[in-house]
A = this chain, B = another copy of it.
Amino acid sequence: MDAPHDTGERILDAAAELFAVHGYAGTTTRAIAEAAGVNEVTLFRRFENKVGVLTALGRRIQQQQAGHAAAAAPDSESVRETLLRLARMEIEATMAGGALAIRLAFDAKSVPEVAALLGEGIPNNAAGLAEYLAEHQATGELRDDIDASVMAEAFFGLTSSYVMYRIVMGVAPMPADVSTDDGIAQLFDLFWSGAAPKERV
Protein backbone atom coordinates (compact mmCIF):
# COMPACT_ATOMS: atom_id res chain seq x y z
CA MET A 1 0.00 0.00 0.00
CA ASP A 2 0.95 3.65 -0.39
CA ALA A 3 2.22 4.19 3.13
CA PRO A 4 2.44 0.75 4.63
CA HIS A 5 3.83 2.11 7.82
CA ASP A 6 0.71 3.75 9.18
CA THR A 7 -1.57 0.80 8.65
CA GLY A 8 -1.79 0.59 12.40
CA GLU A 9 -2.81 4.25 12.61
CA ARG A 10 -5.52 3.74 10.01
CA ILE A 11 -6.88 0.85 12.02
CA LEU A 12 -6.90 3.01 15.14
CA ASP A 13 -8.64 5.83 13.29
CA ALA A 14 -11.34 3.47 12.09
CA ALA A 15 -11.70 1.92 15.52
CA ALA A 16 -12.01 5.37 17.06
CA GLU A 17 -14.91 6.30 14.82
CA LEU A 18 -16.73 3.01 15.28
CA PHE A 19 -16.17 2.79 19.03
CA ALA A 20 -17.50 6.31 19.38
CA VAL A 21 -20.73 5.40 17.65
CA HIS A 22 -21.35 1.79 18.57
CA GLY A 23 -19.26 1.35 21.69
CA TYR A 24 -16.62 -1.28 22.24
CA ALA A 25 -18.87 -4.31 22.50
CA GLY A 26 -21.01 -3.14 19.61
CA THR A 27 -18.08 -2.85 17.22
CA THR A 28 -16.72 -5.93 15.44
CA THR A 29 -13.16 -6.44 14.37
CA ARG A 30 -14.43 -7.13 10.88
CA ALA A 31 -16.13 -3.74 10.82
CA ILE A 32 -12.98 -2.00 12.01
CA ALA A 33 -10.86 -3.71 9.37
CA GLU A 34 -13.33 -2.88 6.62
CA ALA A 35 -13.57 0.77 7.68
CA ALA A 36 -9.79 0.95 7.72
CA GLY A 37 -9.63 -0.55 4.24
CA VAL A 38 -7.58 -3.37 5.61
CA ASN A 39 -7.99 -7.10 5.89
CA GLU A 40 -9.22 -8.37 9.22
CA VAL A 41 -6.20 -10.61 9.52
CA THR A 42 -3.94 -7.59 9.35
CA LEU A 43 -5.71 -6.14 12.36
CA PHE A 44 -4.86 -9.20 14.38
CA ARG A 45 -1.29 -9.17 13.14
CA ARG A 46 -0.90 -5.58 14.31
CA PHE A 47 -2.78 -5.82 17.57
CA GLU A 48 -2.77 -8.97 19.58
CA ASN A 49 -6.42 -8.60 20.51
CA LYS A 50 -9.54 -6.57 20.09
CA VAL A 51 -8.67 -5.33 23.56
CA GLY A 52 -5.24 -4.53 22.19
CA VAL A 53 -6.84 -2.08 19.75
CA LEU A 54 -8.76 -0.47 22.58
CA THR A 55 -5.75 -0.01 24.82
CA ALA A 56 -3.66 1.37 21.97
CA LEU A 57 -6.44 3.85 21.32
CA GLY A 58 -6.61 4.74 24.99
CA ARG A 59 -2.91 5.48 24.99
CA ARG A 60 -3.23 7.70 21.96
CA ILE A 61 -6.06 9.70 23.46
CA GLN A 62 -4.28 10.15 26.74
CA GLN A 63 -1.28 11.62 24.97
CA GLN A 64 -3.45 14.09 23.07
CA GLN A 65 -5.22 15.15 26.25
CA ALA A 66 -2.00 15.70 28.11
CA GLY A 67 -0.88 17.83 25.17
CA HIS A 68 -3.41 20.61 25.29
CA ALA A 69 -3.81 20.79 29.01
CA ALA A 70 -0.19 21.83 29.22
CA ALA A 71 -0.67 24.60 26.64
CA ALA A 72 -2.87 26.49 29.08
CA ALA A 73 -1.01 29.54 30.25
CA PRO A 74 0.93 31.79 27.84
CA ASP A 75 0.75 34.40 30.61
CA SER A 76 0.57 37.42 28.34
CA GLU A 77 -3.22 37.45 28.29
CA SER A 78 -5.81 38.10 30.97
CA VAL A 79 -7.37 35.33 32.99
CA ARG A 80 -10.59 35.84 31.15
CA GLU A 81 -8.92 35.58 27.77
CA THR A 82 -7.00 32.48 28.81
CA LEU A 83 -10.10 30.74 30.03
CA LEU A 84 -12.13 31.65 26.99
CA ARG A 85 -9.38 30.35 24.74
CA LEU A 86 -9.22 27.22 26.84
CA ALA A 87 -12.96 26.77 26.58
CA ARG A 88 -12.86 27.03 22.82
CA MET A 89 -9.97 24.62 22.66
CA GLU A 90 -11.68 22.19 24.98
CA ILE A 91 -14.88 22.23 22.99
CA GLU A 92 -13.07 21.92 19.72
CA ALA A 93 -10.89 19.06 20.93
CA THR A 94 -13.78 17.29 22.56
CA MET A 95 -15.95 17.76 19.51
CA ALA A 96 -13.23 16.16 17.41
CA GLY A 97 -12.09 13.27 19.53
CA GLY A 98 -14.14 13.54 22.64
CA ALA A 99 -17.26 11.65 21.77
CA LEU A 100 -14.92 8.72 21.71
CA ALA A 101 -13.27 9.68 24.98
CA ILE A 102 -16.62 9.88 26.74
CA ARG A 103 -17.81 6.66 25.24
CA LEU A 104 -14.57 4.94 26.13
CA ALA A 105 -14.94 6.16 29.67
CA PHE A 106 -18.08 4.06 29.79
CA ASP A 107 -16.57 1.01 28.20
CA ALA A 108 -13.58 1.40 30.44
CA LYS A 109 -15.74 0.10 33.24
CA SER A 110 -15.73 -3.30 31.57
CA VAL A 111 -12.14 -3.09 30.39
CA PRO A 112 -9.91 -2.34 33.37
CA GLU A 113 -6.85 -1.53 31.30
CA VAL A 114 -8.52 1.41 29.63
CA ALA A 115 -10.06 2.49 32.90
CA ALA A 116 -6.56 2.81 34.30
CA LEU A 117 -5.37 4.85 31.32
CA LEU A 118 -8.27 7.29 31.16
CA GLY A 119 -8.65 7.36 34.91
CA GLU A 120 -5.36 9.22 35.03
CA GLY A 121 -5.92 11.57 32.13
CA ILE A 122 -9.17 13.29 33.00
CA PRO A 123 -8.58 14.25 36.62
CA ASN A 124 -5.06 15.32 35.74
CA ASN A 125 -6.55 17.75 33.30
CA ALA A 126 -9.02 19.01 35.89
CA ALA A 127 -6.35 19.25 38.55
CA GLY A 128 -4.16 21.30 36.23
CA LEU A 129 -6.93 23.79 35.64
CA ALA A 130 -7.80 23.93 39.33
CA GLU A 131 -4.22 24.84 40.06
CA TYR A 132 -4.29 27.64 37.52
CA LEU A 133 -7.55 28.93 38.96
CA ALA A 134 -6.28 28.79 42.53
CA GLU A 135 -3.26 30.88 41.56
CA HIS A 136 -5.48 33.60 40.18
CA GLN A 137 -7.84 33.41 43.11
CA ALA A 138 -4.85 34.32 45.23
CA THR A 139 -4.16 37.40 43.13
CA GLY A 140 -7.79 38.50 43.32
CA GLU A 141 -8.50 37.97 39.64
CA LEU A 142 -11.08 35.35 40.51
CA ARG A 143 -13.51 35.21 43.39
CA ASP A 144 -12.12 33.15 46.20
CA ASP A 145 -15.26 32.07 48.03
CA ILE A 146 -15.68 29.13 45.69
CA ASP A 147 -13.31 26.21 45.82
CA ALA A 148 -10.93 26.17 42.85
CA SER A 149 -11.73 22.56 42.04
CA VAL A 150 -15.44 23.29 42.11
CA MET A 151 -14.75 26.06 39.65
CA ALA A 152 -12.71 23.76 37.47
CA GLU A 153 -15.52 21.26 37.49
CA ALA A 154 -18.01 23.91 36.48
CA PHE A 155 -15.72 24.87 33.63
CA PHE A 156 -15.39 21.34 32.33
CA GLY A 157 -19.07 20.85 32.94
CA LEU A 158 -19.89 23.62 30.50
CA THR A 159 -17.56 22.41 27.80
CA SER A 160 -18.20 18.70 28.11
CA SER A 161 -21.94 18.99 28.33
CA TYR A 162 -21.91 21.26 25.31
CA VAL A 163 -20.36 18.39 23.39
CA MET A 164 -22.48 15.73 25.06
CA TYR A 165 -25.70 17.35 23.99
CA ARG A 166 -24.61 17.85 20.45
CA ILE A 167 -22.46 14.99 19.31
CA VAL A 168 -23.24 12.16 21.61
CA MET A 169 -26.96 12.53 21.90
CA GLY A 170 -27.44 14.19 18.57
CA VAL A 171 -29.43 16.92 20.27
CA ALA A 172 -28.89 20.63 19.93
CA PRO A 173 -30.91 22.48 22.57
CA MET A 174 -29.85 25.87 21.34
CA PRO A 175 -32.17 27.54 18.89
CA ALA A 176 -31.03 27.92 15.33
CA ASP A 177 -30.67 31.69 15.59
CA VAL A 178 -27.83 31.39 18.10
CA SER A 179 -24.68 30.53 16.19
CA THR A 180 -22.09 28.12 17.51
CA ASP A 181 -19.62 30.84 18.23
CA ASP A 182 -22.23 32.99 19.90
CA GLY A 183 -23.43 30.04 21.91
CA ILE A 184 -20.01 29.27 23.25
CA ALA A 185 -19.36 32.92 23.94
CA GLN A 186 -22.60 33.29 25.88
CA LEU A 187 -22.04 30.06 27.74
CA PHE A 188 -18.60 31.25 28.71
CA ASP A 189 -19.87 34.68 29.63
CA LEU A 190 -22.27 33.08 32.05
CA PHE A 191 -19.47 31.09 33.58
CA TRP A 192 -17.24 34.09 33.73
CA SER A 193 -19.81 36.32 35.38
CA GLY A 194 -20.09 33.66 38.03
CA ALA A 195 -16.37 33.22 38.45
CA ALA A 196 -15.27 36.85 38.41
CA PRO A 197 -14.79 38.66 41.70
CA LYS A 198 -18.09 40.15 42.80
CA GLU A 199 -16.95 43.73 43.30
CA ARG A 200 -15.81 44.13 39.70
CA VAL A 201 -19.05 43.34 37.92
Contact = CB atoms under 8 A, between A and B. Distances in A.
Interface of A: 21-26, 103, 105-110, 115, 118-119, 122-123, 126-127, 130, 143, 146-147, 149-154, 156-158, 160-162, 164-165, 168-171, 173-175, 178, 183, 186-187, 189-195, 198, 201
Given A157-B158, A158-B154, A193 B198 contact: yes
A187 to B, nearest CB: 6
Candidate in A157, A160, A201 with the most chain B CB atoms within 10 angstroms: A157
Q: Nearest 8 pairs between A and B by C-beta?
A: A157-B161, A194-B194, A25-B26, A190-B194, A193-B194, A25-B25, A126-B173, A150-B186
B149 A173 contact: yes
Nearest to A122: B171
A64 B152 CA distance: 31
Given A122-B169, A162-B157, A146 B25 contact: no
Contacts of A158: 154, 157-158, 161
A174 B152 CA distance: 9
A158 B154 CA distance: 6
Nearest to A119: B171
Contacts of A126: 173
B165 A119 contact: no
A84 to B, nearest CB: 14
Contacts of A162: 153, 157
A98 to B, nearest CB: 12
Given A161-B157, A161-B161, A110 B178 contact: no
20 contacts: A22-B25, A23-B26, A23-B106, A26-B107, A118-B169, A122-B171, A147-B178, A149-B175, A150-B187, A153-B174, A154-B190, A157-B157, A157-B160, A157-B161, A160-B164, A161-B164, A164-B164, A192-B194, A193-B194, A201-B201
